[in-house]
């Protein structure tokens, strides 16, 4: 499905649905027949960004594959809150093995389907940032290198939330976690460490890499749908706020995600074969402060104001904006 | 325990047994808040409601929704000063929705298509309306819809009141006015022209009327005391404008002075210009910022070459000259004389310093409370001190505009109807206002206003052709779609999409949504993200 922003309709152009649009041009989530891959009754916290991101991504894959999909899940919040024995919230073929081996298991499922000649069934692997960036990184890199026919989706909530908010390789600079307390000269997570997994994935030269956010559903669905047009290893990194670990208001989950995009801290990009091919421009640029101040994990940057840290974080956003040319071209 | 197939440990969606709704401390509820445009409309239109229909291209439904409140969309789309647009939340985003332009399009389209409104089932009650201006016609229309037999008595030669004798053709073409009045006549309302009510009580008895609505307007020009050796050069503004509609086009000289700062003064100046005056000067005792006239009308007059002299009063009128005194504004903004005198040449002076009500025919009516300026006091139901006699429009205390008058007509009609049925009309209490901070504007695209075309200046100066043009089916549709639908669900599916717990049930087109409280955890994401602010979070009571 070619992706095109509809600019014609001024009422609700960016909304989930639009009654003025043809059904086929609305989002998957607007449909009364969406899969609801992750159904009600799951035990995620109020306002969970990951639960939302998972349903967005998997429902879009289900439509793109005509309901022929298997999902492999790493250990993490998503796995724990969706499948406490004897209940499961999944309405799709779903399997879980260990924390670190989801990419390897998915590679195995893909190999088995190939052996059975089932080209129609597509394989998804998914996990949080802990399983992806740290614990399962070796398996993931191998899956990329072998170019196995798997779409790996990382739901990035920037720390190990399930086990009680410990720092991961994806925790942003200066953020409080239980292992990076807001104490000392440079409180919170140290500046200048951590991994940018979308760029690491691009360095593997795999067919398709993209970043997405729960704050921009049209963009997210378009990228997931596009990913299913490729064979081989693909990677999508979705930014999913965590009200518990970020100490933000559960009602602000999407707002916080939106400010991450609009400030430039979480750039929305696409890459094919290791080269950046497109970016989603910022609609209305905001200073990083607006994003940070909604989250209790950054409270120490404001009481008292830590200008040095705020400037350093703004510099990261500015570098992203420069690198990916995120500001809209002025007419 | 049941045996599951190989490698299956948990049944799909078995989590539905876990009712997470009991985590909730706050619950989302769907609400309809009052859009600021609706709040601002003196005629009480449901503007957001009819724009919603127009957005889908359902022009007839949109038009019928206007007609529930206001019988003159084509007229109001032209002459209303649209307080709705001043209130419009979109004004804080880019520019207000051009509500009047869409309303005018719908009104014109209805005339073109010949759409008609039917009178209600006959009640057998007879109502007399005195005056066929906007207020009287509006009351007659609403009373006819409610099934009452209405007779209008009008002193003038044609119906329309100030819409005909006060508003020039270049703002309101007469074919539009005639078409919207004809629709009311077609509902069975009879209008008796060139008749004056001399004694109201006698007329009521002779006509066996059950109720009366008085709406004679304010047709007496106020006088000012200016010593003049040649009073023939001074004419009053209403006589001047009335003369434009029919009998004798008023004679004016080459140099015309209009004295006053209201909309009527501007109308007179622009009309004089079109009649061929070489020089038209507007004299007003305060400055432009203090003029009661609407600024866009002042701007249009200036574009057409009307000259202005702010801060001056006329002291004396002589044969071909007039003496003016320069004024200055005190701290309260009131004009104070300076003693500096100037003389200028003028052939005609048009006085436009306000209007009064001619209440002579009401002298014998018992219980009426008439103030010294001729304005009649009414209660909250628009009823005067005499039971069964109601009044509205320019003759009661209010802002004197077509829209206020039309609103009075509707309000009075509803109370007259209740009076005739022996009950009381209670207006449903309005919802809380959907203020701008309730909106989540990220979801709306930037969209510039669709501009109405203007007649070119040369033709504006020389003819009475309509100055402002209308939108067409395409531009009207785009303009309607700029509406943000403040405070009222427009079925954008955002709540349905953003719920992390699938706890919003989509009921299908036109049916909106429902919350599934078995699973809603009360996170509030739906309320936060709703673009138009149609979801409230309220405390959970168990």
Q: Is the peptide bond before B400 cis (omega within 30 degrees of 0)?
A: no
**What is the sign of the dihedral through the CA atoms of B346, B347, B350 and B353?**
positive
pLDDT reported for residue A6: 42
Residue from A23, A46, A73 to probe the interface with B (highest B Cβ count within 10 Å): A46
How is residue A290 written in tokens?
Answer: 């607006």
DSSP state, A305?
B
* A35/A62 Cα distance (integer angstroms): 7
More confident residue, A36 or A2: A36
Q: Which residue of B has its CA nearest to A20?
A: B56
Please judge whether A12 and B531 are an interchain contact, meaning their C-beta atoms are less than 8 angstroms apart: yes
CA distance B219 to B238: 7
Query: In DSSP terms, which residues pair with A150 in a beta bridge?
Result: A123
* Paired residues of B342 in beta bridges: B324
Q: Compare all CA atoms of chain A with the CA of B486 and give the residue at the minimum distance.
A: A11
Contact in structure between B151 and B177 (CB atoms under 8 Å) = no
**pLDDT at residue A191 greater than cutoff 70:** yes
Structure token pair of residue A328: 């809209």
Please determine, for residue B231, whether its predicted confidence score (pLDDT) is greater than 90. Answer: no
Query: Which of the pair, A278 or B322, is modelled with greater confidence?
Result: A278
Q: Could you tell me if residue A231 is inside a domain?
A: yes
The residue-averaged pLDDT of B163-168 equals 91
The tens digit of pLDDT for each residue in B379-408 reads 999 999 999 999 999 999 888 899 999 999
Put simply, the answer to whether A40 touches B11 (Cβ < 8 Å) is no
Q: CB within 8 A of A212, min separation 6: which ones?
A: A57, A219, A220, A223, A224, A236, A237, A238, A239, A268
Closest CA of chain B from A82, distance in Å: 8
**Alpha carbons B30 and A157: distance in angstroms, whole number:** 31
B412-426 per-residue burial string, b: 16 or more CB within 10 A, e: under 16:
bbbbbbebbeeeeee
How, if at all, do strands B126-130 and B149-153 pair?
Answer: parallel
Give the containing element (helix H, strand E) for B165: helix B162-165
Cross-strand bridge partners of residue B513: B506
Given a cut of 50, whether residue A106 has pLDDT beyond it is yes
Asked if pLDDT for residue A162 goes beyond 70, the answer is: yes
Among candidates A10, A89, A254 on the partner chain, residue whose Cβ is nearest the Cβ of B15 = A89
The answer to whether the Cβ–Cβ distance between B483 and A88 falls below 8 Å is no
pLDDT at A8 over 80: no
Give per-residue pLDDT as tens, B277-286. Answer: 999 999 999 9
Answer whether A189's CB lies under 8 Å from A206's CB.
Answer: no
Confirm whether A8 is domain-assigned. no
Q: Using an 8 Å Cβ cutoff, are B469 and B452 in contact?
A: yes
Say which of B442, B485, B525 has its CB closest to residue A47. Answer: B525
Radius of gyration from C-alpha coordinates of chain B: 28
Q: How far is B19 from chain A (nearest CA, A)?
A: 6
Option in B445, B485, B492 nearest A16 (CB): B492
Query: What is the pLDDT, as a whole number, of residue B319?
Result: 77
Whether B230 shows a pLDDT value over 80: the answer reads no
Bridge partners (DSSP) of residue B234 are B349
Please give the helix or strand (H or E) that residue A79 lies within, else none.
helix A77-82
Number of domains in chain A: 1
First to last CA, chain A: 28
Residue A1 has pLDDT above 60, yes or no: no
Average pLDDT, chain B: 92
The answer to whether residue A99 is domain-embedded is yes
CA-based end-to-end distance of chain B: 35
Which of B20, B478, B492 is the closest to A15 by Cβ?
B492
How far is it, in rounded angstroms, from Cα A250 to Cα A176?
Answer: 18
Residue A94, CA distances (Å) to A39, A125, A155, B144 in order? 13, 10, 17, 67
* Euclidean distance between CA atoms A108 and A112, whole angstroms: 6
* pTM, rounded to two decimals: 0.90
Is residue A127 in a domain? yes
Per-residue pLDDT at B16 exceeds 70: yes
Checking phi first, is residue A32 left (phi over 0); if not, alpha (psi -120 to 50) or beta?
Answer: alpha
Which residues are CB-neighbours of A331 under 8 A, at least 6 positions away? none
Measured CA to CA, the distance from residue B477 to residue A11 in angstroms comes to: 11
Mean pLDDT of the B453-474 span: 90
Given an 8 Å threshold on Cβ–Cβ distance, is A255 in contact with B500?
no
Residue A133 lies in a domain: yes
Interface size, chain A vs chain B, as Cβ–Cβ contacts under 8 Å: 172
pLDDT at A9: 57
Domain that holds residue A122: 23-324
Of B15-29, B113-127, B361-375, B465-479, the one with minimum mean pLDDT is B361-375
What average pLDDT does range B421-444 have in this prediction?
Answer: 92
Q: Is B498 on the interface with A (CB under 8 A)?
A: yes
Q: Is the pLDDT of residue B364 over 80?
A: no
* Mean pLDDT of the A285-308 span: 97
Cβ contacts of A12 on chain B, cutoff 8 Å? 443-444, 490, 492, 494, 531
- Residue A296 belongs to a domain: yes
Dist. CA B194–CA A170, nearest whole Å: 86
Residue B343 sits at φ, ψ, to 5 deg, of -125, 140
A331 has a pLDDT exceeding 60: no
Mean pLDDT (whole number) for B504-524? 96
Q: Sign of the CA dihedral B282, B283, B285, B287? A: positive
| Domain-embedded: residue A156 | yes
Report whether B343 contacts B314 (CB < 8 A). Answer: no
What is the rounded CA–CA span in Å between residue B519 and residue B20? Answer: 5
CB contact under 8 A, A90 and B20: no
Nearest-Cα residue of chain A relative to residue B12: A91
Q: How confident is the model at residue A3 (pLDDT cuts 50, 70, 90)?
A: very low
* Residue whose structure tokens are 């047709």: B219
Whether the per-residue pLDDT at A228 is higher than 50: the answer is yes
pLDDT of residue B2: 67
CATH of the domain at A231: 3.40.50.970
Report the alpha-carbon distance of residue B184 to residue B136 in Å, rounded: 11
State the pLDDT at residue B320.
80
Closest to B366 (Cα-Cα) out of B199, B193, B516, B532: B199
d(CA A90, CA B9): 12
């Amino acid at each position: 499905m070619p992706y095109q922003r509809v600019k014609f309709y001024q009422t609700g152009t960016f909304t989930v649905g639009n009654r003025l649009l043809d059904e086929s041009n609305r989002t998957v989530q607007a449909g009364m027949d969406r899969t609801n891959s992750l159904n009600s009754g799951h035990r995620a916290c109020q306002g969970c960004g990951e639960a939302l991101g998972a349903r967005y991504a998997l429902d879009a894959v289900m439509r793109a594959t005509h309901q022929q999909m298997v999902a492999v899940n790493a250990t993490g919040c998503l796995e724990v809150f969706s499948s406490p024995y004897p209940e499961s919230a999944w309405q799709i073929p779903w399997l879980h093995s260990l924390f670190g081996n989801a990419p390897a298991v998915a590679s195995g499922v893909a190999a088995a389907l190939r052996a059975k000649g089932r080209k129609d069934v597509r394989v998804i692997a998914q996990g949080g940032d802990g399983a992806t960036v740290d614990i399962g990184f070796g398996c993931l890199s191998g899956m990329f290198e072998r170019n196995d026919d798997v779409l790996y989706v990382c739901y990035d909530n920037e720390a190990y939330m399930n086990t009680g908010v410990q720092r991961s390789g994806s925790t942003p600079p200066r953020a409080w976690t239980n292992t990076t307390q807001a104490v000392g000269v440079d409180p919170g997570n140290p500046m200048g460490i951590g991994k940018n997994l979308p760029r690491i994935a691009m360095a593997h030269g795999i067919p398709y890499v993209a970043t997405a956010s729960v704050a921009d559903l049209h963009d997210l669905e378009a990228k997931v749908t596009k990913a299913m047009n490729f064979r081989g290893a693909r990677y999508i990194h979705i930014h999913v706020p965590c009200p518990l670990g970020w100490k933000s208001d559960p009602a602000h989950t999407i707002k916080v995600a939106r400010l991450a995009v609009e400030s430039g801290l979480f750039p929305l990009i696409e890459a094919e074969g290791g080269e950046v091919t497109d970016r989603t421009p910022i609609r209305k640029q905001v200073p990083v402060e607006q994003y940070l101040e909604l989250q209790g994990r950054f409270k120490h940057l404001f009481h008292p104001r830590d200008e040095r840290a705020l400037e350093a974080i703004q510099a990261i956003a500015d570098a992203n904006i420069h690198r990916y040319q995120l500001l809209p071209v002025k007419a | 325990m049941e045996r599951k197939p190989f490698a299956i440990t948990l049944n799909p969606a078995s989590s539905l047994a876990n009712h997470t709704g009991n985590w909730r401390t706050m619950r989302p509820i769907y609400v309809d808040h009052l859009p600021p445009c609706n709040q601002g409309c003196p005629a009480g239109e449901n503007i957001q409601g009819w724009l919603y229909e127009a957005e889908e291209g359902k022009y007839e439904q949109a038009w019928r929704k206007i007609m529930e409140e206001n019988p003159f969309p084509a007229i109001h789309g032209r002459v209303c000063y649209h307080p709705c647009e001043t209130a419009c939340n979109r004004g804080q985003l880019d520019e207000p929705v051009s509500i009047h332009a869409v309303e005018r399009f719908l009104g014109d389209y209805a005339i073109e298509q010949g759409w008609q409104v039917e009178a209600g089932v006959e009640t057998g009650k007879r109502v007399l309306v005195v005056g066929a201006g906007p207020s009287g016609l509006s009351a007659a229309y609403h009373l006819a819809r409610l099934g009452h037999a209405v007779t209008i008595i009008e002193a003038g030669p044609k119906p329309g009141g100030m819409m005909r004798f006060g508003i020039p053709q270049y703002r309101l073409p007469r074919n539009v006015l005639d078409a919207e009045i004809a629709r009311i006549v077609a509902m069975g309302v009879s209008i008796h022209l060139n008749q004056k009510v001399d004694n109201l009580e006698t007329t009521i008895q002779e006509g066996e009327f059950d109720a009366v609505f008085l709406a004679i307007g304010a047709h007496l020009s106020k006088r000012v005391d200016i010593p003049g050796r040649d009073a023939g050069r001074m004419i009053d503004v209403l006589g001047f404008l009335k003369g434009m509609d029919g009998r004798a086009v008023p004679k004016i000289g080459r140099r015309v002075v209009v004295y006053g700062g209201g909309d009527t003064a501007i109308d007179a100046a622009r009309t004089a210009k079109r009649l061929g005056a070489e020089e038209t000067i507007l004299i007003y005792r305060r400055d432009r910022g203090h003029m009661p006239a609407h600024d866009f009308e002042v701007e249009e007059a200036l574009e057409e070459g009307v000259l202005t002299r702010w801060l001056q009063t006329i002291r004396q009128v002589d044969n071909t000259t007039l003496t003016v005194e320069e004024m200055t504004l005190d701290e309260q903004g009131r004009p104070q004389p300076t003693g500096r005198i100037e003389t200028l040449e003028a052939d005609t002076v048009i006085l436009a310093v306000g209007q009064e009500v001619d209440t002579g025919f009401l002298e014998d009516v018992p219980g009426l409370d008439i103030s010294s300026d001729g304005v009649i006091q009414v209660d909250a139901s628009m009823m005067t001190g005499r039971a069964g006699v109601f009044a509205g429009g320019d003759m009661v205390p209010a802002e004197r505009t077509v829209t206020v008058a039309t609103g009075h007509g509707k309000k009075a009609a509803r109370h007259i109807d209740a009076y005739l049925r022996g009950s009381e009309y209670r207006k449903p209490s309005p919802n809380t206002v959907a203020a701008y901070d309730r909106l989540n504007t990220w979801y709306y695209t930037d969209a510039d206003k669709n501009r109405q075309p203007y007649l070119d200046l040369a033709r504006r100066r020389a003819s009475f052709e309509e100055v402002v043009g209308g939108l067409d089916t395409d531009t009207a549709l785009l303009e309607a779609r700029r509406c943000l639908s403040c405070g009222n669900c427009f079925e954008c599916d955002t709540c349905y999409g953003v719920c992390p717990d699938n706890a919003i049930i989509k009921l299908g087109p036109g049916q909106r949504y429902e919350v599934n409280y078995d699973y809603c955890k009360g996170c509030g994401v739906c309320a936060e993200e709703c673009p138009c602010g149609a979801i409230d979070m309220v405390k959970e009571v168990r």
